[in-house]
Amino acid sequence: MSNLDTGIAFSDEQAMLLDAATAFCREQSPTSAVRARMLTDTGFDSSVWRSMVDMGWLGIAVPERFGGSGLTLADSAVIAETTGRHLLATPFAGTQIVIQALLAGGSEAQQASWLPRLAQGVVACVALFEDDGHWDLARIGCRAEPVGGRLRLRGDKVLVTDAAVAELLLVSVTVEGSQALILLDRSSVPAVSLSRETIIDETRRSYRLRLDDIEVDASAAITGSAAAAALRAIRDAALLLASAEAAGGTAGVLAIVVDYLNTRSAFGRKIGSYQALKHACVDILVGLERARSHVWHAATRIADGADAEVALRMAKAEAGDTFAFAGDRAVQFHGGFGFTWDCDAQLYLRRALWLQPWFGDGAYQRRMLAGPLLTTDGAS
């Protein structure tokens, strides 16, 4: 298949997984529960997380020899889309991203140590972004200095989601000028090294991680070509899961909009009967269908083992922008009430404004697509 192949596949197994995930999220994540979890320290319900583990969702993409189901990241995207539709906040995406990094670049010993635990519900997260705000994962300012057989870490990471509850943090650094990833056990991180950040999506928990003076054994590092492969896997996993979650969020916010337009009356008519509001709803629906098409095309390429970078960047640009547009329209349609905290449209808009720039916004993705799509050598 070429980069521009438009094939989309959705298996019977994925359809069954979607049905189960929809029923689960509908029951476990009504907006009342979403709002209650926002007031907790962790931002998620540990019993819900354990139920997800019991259903095998954490090990979907983990090989069977490590206690998983042996499926692919494409199957994990089914869960991501459904949790996005119902605003179910858990460390699912971060844990899946770390799993993909280990599969792509981890040594046999590293995989054997961590993958079975991750499949059984150990929380993991990635620490990749820095204060310069750049989305290029290979542009790393933090470093690890060799000291005997150990590595001493230096620098700060920002926007590290779920760091306070993660048992494994995957940290990008340079070692003697070369990119590397560190498998950082949470027990090695002093409490003072984490500080809570204020972000727009209050269903999330994000932290600044101060690495200075943290030391790890050299065996905890992924280096060389393995690090490059792991970073590519991180990028691909993050783009797919974020795009799937944004597509699900768009479906969720569209349901809220349609329900409200068919409930609220003005001048003796349901406001949904007014043409201007109908047009905006159609725009959201068309955007949702475009986003889903891109997401599942990208997922299909990943499942087939094909190069998915172009498809993933297209999916992220489309899904992220569509979700933000839908959230904005939802707030506007609710009038003055939409600008209050009690309006559920606020929750979706805030989720959209978090996901849109996560691992690169639409403008960045389109800029990165220019090379692959506009080459003249026939490669694309």
Report the distance separating Cα 153 and Cα 100, nearest Å. 23
Residues 6+ apart with CB under 8 A from 13: 71, 75
Report the distance separating Cα 18 and Cα 23, nearest Å. 9
Report the distance separating Cα 166 and Cα 94, nearest Å. 9
How many Cβ atoms from other residues are within 10 Å of residue 229's Cβ? 16
Report the distance separating Cα 105 and Cα 13, nearest Å. 28
State the Cα angle at 284 between 283 and 286, rounded to 5°.
Answer: 65
Report the distance separating Cα 79 and Cα 99, nearest Å. 15
Residue recorded with tokens 């596949």? 9
Would you give per-residue pLDDT tens digits along the chain (380 residues)? Answer: 344 566 888 888 899 999 999 999 999 999 999 999 999 999 999 999 999 999 999 999 999 999 999 999 999 999 999 999 999 999 999 999 999 999 999 999 999 999 999 999 999 999 999 999 999 999 999 999 999 889 999 999 999 999 999 999 999 999 999 999 999 999 999 999 999 999 999 999 999 999 998 999 999 999 999 999 999 999 999 999 999 999 999 999 999 999 989 888 788 888 777 888 889 999 999 999 999 999 999 999 999 999 999 999 999 999 999 999 999 999 999 989 999 989 999 999 999 999 999 999 999 999 999 988 887 554 44
Report the distance separating Cα 167 and Cα 249, nearest Å. 28
Report the distance separating Cα 79 and Cα 237, nearest Å. 13
Long-range contacts of 282-289 (CB under 8 A, 24+ apart): 283/325, 283/329, 284/250, 284/253, 284/254, 284/257, 284/322, 284/325, 284/326, 284/329, 285/254, 287/250, 287/318, 287/321, 287/322, 287/325, 287/326, 288/247, 288/250, 288/251, 288/254, 288/322, 288/326
Q: What is the pLDDT of residue 269?
A: 84
Burial 108-126 (b: 16+ CB within 10 A, else e): eebbebbbbbbbebbbbbb
Q: What is the pLDDT of residue 155?
A: 97
Residue recorded with tokens 């640009």? 317
What is the pTM assigned to this prediction?
A: 0.94
Residues 6+ apart with CB under 8 A from 135: 129, 359, 360, 364
Report the distance separating Cα 210 and Cα 154, nearest Å. 8
**Cβ(154)–Cβ(143) under 8 Å?**
yes
Q: Where are the alpha helices (DSSP H) in the chain?
A: 12-28, 31-37, 46-54, 73-85, 92-105, 108-119, 224-261, 275-303, 309-333, 335-338, 345-355, 362-374
Q: What is the pLDDT of residue 375?
A: 73
Residue 343 C-beta-side C-alpha neighbours within 13 Å: 23
CATH superfamily, with its number, for domain 227-374: Butyryl-CoA Dehydrogenase, subunit A, domain 3 (1.20.140.10)
Report the distance separating Cα 357 and Cα 353, nearest Å. 7
User: What are the domain boundaries of the chain?
Assistant: 12-122, 126-225, 227-374
Amino acid at position 60, single letter:
I
The class of domain 12-122 in CATH terms is mainly alpha
> What CATH number is given for 126-225 in this structure?
2.40.110.10
Report the distance separating Cα 240 and Cα 198, nearest Å. 25
| Among 172, 191, 165, 97, CA closest to 127 | 172
Q: What is the pLDDT of residue 379?
A: 45
What is the DSSP pairing of strand 269-270 with strand 265-266?
antiparallel
State the Cα angle at 250 between 249 and 255, rounded to 5°.
Answer: 100
| Among 88, 92, 87, 51, CA closest to 75 | 92
